[in-house]
A and B are shown apart, each in its own frame.
Chain A
Amino acid sequence: MSGSNFGSDELAQFRKTFFEECAELLVDLEERLGALHPYTQDVEGLNAIFRAVHSIKAGAGAFNYTGLVRFAHTFEALLDRLRDGKAELDERTLPCLISAGDVLAALVDTVREGKTADEAFGADVRDELESLMDGASGGASPVPAAKADAAPTGPQGYRIVFRPDSELFRHANEPLYLIRELKTLGTLEIACDTSRLPDLAGLKTDEAYLSWTMTLRTDKPRAAIAEVFEFVEDECELIIEPLADAVEATPEAVPQAVTIAPAAVAVPVAAPTVERAAPHPEGKAEQKASVASSIRVELARVDRLVNMVGELVITQAMLAQQFNENDVGQGGHKTLQGFEDLAVLTRELQECVMAIRMQPVKSIFARMPRLVREVSAKLGKTVHLEMSGEQTEVDKTVIEELADPLTHMIRNAVDHGIESTEERIAAGKSPDGTIHLSAQHVGSNILIHVEDDGAGIDRERLLRKAIERGIVSANAKPTGEEIDELIFSPGFSTAAAVTDVSGRGVGMDVVRRNIINLGGRVQVQSTLGKGTRFTLVIPLTLAVLDGMIVAVGEEKYILPLTSIVESIRPERGQIRALTGGYEVASIRGEFVRLVHLARVFGVPQAVGEPWNGLVVLVEQANGTKIGVVVDELIGQQQVVIKSLQDNFDPVAGISGATILGNGRVALIVDIEQLTRLADRPHPTPLPNTDAPSSLTDELANVA
């Protein structure tokens, strides 16, 4: 079936895979580049970067993307020199590497879109790479001496045992080419071992029978030889050992597969017998296992799995409930036990499945050092970024949605948060600013802090601006926290000068909206002169939610547990009606606006008076508290979030739905929309939800 000519479908599939791999490699590349520091010898990091670039080059070569290959080649060449210690990673090289990474990514993008890159594109970076390379090789570098495993002393040799698996041929690799490549490294003596070759009758065309033992005399490092075999190392048995060692070493010191070492050079034919005895199946299996430690799965499949398990959990709960309701007869006890075991198992299964989608936040954190470096360089500030909790895991979809807001916040912190060096010195602070980015798990949420030691929010100036722009009425007396909240108002920027770094105040309101869309919240704490701290509270996953089930009339609704502060049954005297139909409850001296869920949603037969029902105190994303009046609390439950919008239009006040243990659908209340819904005399569906709830509204509401 598999002819040598691939159909266009297959080719398209290969190409798709190539670009998927490129995307991953580029992410890895960027991460590794970001971790490099001038004048350090991070051989492992450089190797990883080299491999990424090399893999992209190899793939690009297969598809004839010549521009990409050419650039990758130059990039790779410099990297090779760096890791061999022939060039030094100084403050000129590092930015060049980073911009080379950008160019590479851009080139990949270009070819993915089917365009041909402009010849001149990236040429400047390539020239610089080349110049760095020349400079390095020209100025006889004293560095290599310090390097441990490179820098061979004088010409020496290696013994190479190369025994291809049949896999190697299946992947269309050709030993001849590899051997030719080896020959370019030095003088090569080759002995071919044909002892495994069967009679012609028993010959299978797709088996690998030949192996080679070679002696290479070269002054190149071992890595140069390993590189020749780079793409086949999983598909063959390969032993590369320094010649001198092989001769001098005692038999037990040498790896067991080559106990014939002393005789190896002279009698290569002897090798196979010993090698065959070597436990290579295990060795191979081990190698394969390390390769297969992760698999690439389409996200849609995982989503489907998550959904199915969600159904399973619901069905299990439903069964258990029905069983409990029915009369438990003979043997009921055993069945009950079975149900309990089932419940435990399904819960564990659900956790496992959810864990598949979890990824460390490192993938976005890793972009930040570079961002800080670039932005601070542009602004002429010195800013250090400290990070912690990069390994904290969160759902993949959350990670994707988190990248933009976080980028924005970091950029803001460098631009607006941290003062200029002169101002810092004048204020008696260290001239270098520090931003701390951290992540941690708290319950079923992830907490992300972005903290700077900058000037903090100047409340006086902020309020003045807000009044100027009519965001706050002139006679309002907002509290300090409420003023801080103003930075989340749309179109609000307090930066004295608009810079091209953070733009024109289309910032924090977008950040807040993004975070709210994730079901999370943003808070700000600031001390004038000391710094500002933003806290993002985001659910670990968008698929499940900890909810409180409440009853209103015949209906049941779910309030997100993260928003709930407390629930109380108020005294009659705590409730006061205001003009315009507003009702407030006085709770420990604080006046909280009440919103009747029954009225907002038009539910009949609900408890009318708050003192006969319950008031659930919830906190909106902007920190405003409201009291949601319900009939009663049913209980707390983790629910699987279902979209209403797959089959219907958005419903005002409802963020989603879930399925309860009895199989009925329950609606999840969108706390953020409640006040606005309640403000309408006869609530009708809102066209969209991005109308900002301004501080003045909230202030008026609180009375």
Chain B
Amino acid sequence: MADPQDQQNPETTAGPSSPATRQFISFRVGDEEFAIDIMAVREIKGWTATTVLPNQQNYMLGVLNLRGTIVPIFDLRCRFGRGLTQATATHVVIIVSVDDRIVGLLVDAVSDILTVNAVDIRPVPDMEQTVDSAFLSGIIPVGESMVVLLSLENLFNQTPSAGLPAIAA
């Protein structure tokens, strides 16, 4: 019965990688690859039906029972303004911890664990066409393609970012 909040993984347990490298979990939403800091990830589970909370934003899918903790689930695709995900059992919920809260992110599939040298993380270009740039904290080049690094803090920040209403406000 591991309490998710007990597993405060300090940065020092990053394993064999040198201090200059960081690890990310990458996942797919639609055709795009995103990544989040592996330290924020508590667990990954398959989609199960949620209990809908009344009168919420449409990307707020409701709450799940995670071994006794009530966890709100957000549809990332919808959060990015691309319509609701028709969630099936093959969809994946990534449980992350953001600002002392435990939340779940509905994504299409988890892809990989990336170990990246900190200097290889590129800043986000000023103009971003597809996603609101406030959610992004960097770009990781992987081979020919790239993975967009998400800023969880901004994704769930209470203060509304430009053009988008804040989550759960």
Contacts and interface: CB of A to CB of B under 8 A. Distances in A.
B101 A665 contact: no
A602 B54 contact: yes
B55 A601 contact: yes
Contact of B65 (A308, A555, A663): A663
B70 A311 contact: no
A296 interface: no
Contact of B168 (A602, A649, A653, A657): A649
Given A642-B68, A665-B65, A665-B70, A647 B168 contact: no
Given A648-B101, A664-B51, A664-B65, A657 B70 contact: yes
A600 interface: yes
B68 A555 contact: no
A665 B51 contact: yes
Interface string B84-116: 000000000000000001110000000000000
Contacts of A666: 51
Interface string A303-320: 000011011001000000
A38 interface: no
Nearest to A664: B51
A601 B62 CA distance: 13
A652 B55 contact: yes
Interface string B136-149: 00000000000000
A327 interface: no
Chain A CB within 10 Å, residue with most, of B50, B69, B103: B69
A651 B52 contact: no
Interface string A589-602: 00000000000111
Contacts of A602: 54-55
Interface in A618-650: 642-644, 646-649
B69 A646 contact: yes
Interface size of B as a range = 20 to 34
Contacts of B72: 647-648
Given A310-B68, A647-B71, A555 B53 contact: no
A648 B168 CA distance: 8
A647 B54 contact: no
Contacts of B68: 307, 310-311, 314, 642, 659
Contacts of B1: 308
A114 B101 CA distance: 34
B64 interface: yes
Contacts of B9: none
A667 B70 CA distance: 11
B117 interface: no
Contacts of B56: 651, 685
Contacts of B67: 311
Contacts of B54: 600-603, 651-654, 667, 683
Interface in B42-67: 49-56, 62-65, 67
A194 interface: no
A651 B63 CA distance: 12
Contacts of A308: 1
A173 interface: no
Interface string A547-570: 000000001000000000000000
Interface in A668-695: 683-685
A666 B52 CA distance: 9
A468 B70 CA distance: 48
A665 B55 contact: no
Interface residues of A, number: 31
Nearest to A598: B54
A602 B52 CA distance: 10
Given A642-B70, A644-B70, A665-B70, A651 B65 contact: no
A477 to B, nearest CB: 36
A647 B105 CA distance: 13
B53 A654 contact: yes
A380 B103 CA distance: 59
Given A646-B101, A683-B55, A685-B55, A665 B63 contact: yes
B67 to A, nearest CB: 7
Contacts of A653: 54-55
Nearest to B63: A665
Chain A CB within 10 Å, residue with most, of B1, B63, B168: B63
B65 A667 contact: no
A600 B1 CA distance: 37
B69 to A, nearest CB: 7
Nearest to B168: A649
B6 to A, nearest CB: 11
Interface in A296-344: 307-308, 310-311, 314
Given A657-B63, A663-B65, A665-B64, A647 B70 contact: yes
B51 to A, nearest CB: 4
B54 to A, nearest CB: 3
Nearest to B166: A649
Contacts of A311: 67-68
Interface in B113-151: none
Nearest to B52: A555
Interface of B: 1, 49-56, 62-65, 67-72, 101-103, 168-169
24 contacts: A308-B1, A602-B54, A603-B52, A642-B68, A646-B102, A647-B71, A647-B72, A647-B102, A648-B70, A648-B101, A648-B168, A649-B169, A651-B53, A653-B54, A654-B53, A654-B54, A657-B51, A657-B63, A657-B70, A664-B49, A665-B64, A665-B70, A667-B53, A683-B54
Interface of A: 307-308, 310-311, 314, 555, 600-603, 642-644, 646-649, 651-654, 657, 659, 663-667, 683-685
List the 5 closest A-B pairs by CB distance, nearest first.
A601-B54, A665-B51, A648-B72, A311-B68, A647-B101
Given A648-B101, A651-B53, A665-B64, 13 more contacts: A310-B68, A600-B54, A603-B52, A644-B53, A644-B70, A646-B70, A647-B69, A647-B71, A648-B63, A648-B168, A649-B169, A663-B65, A665-B62
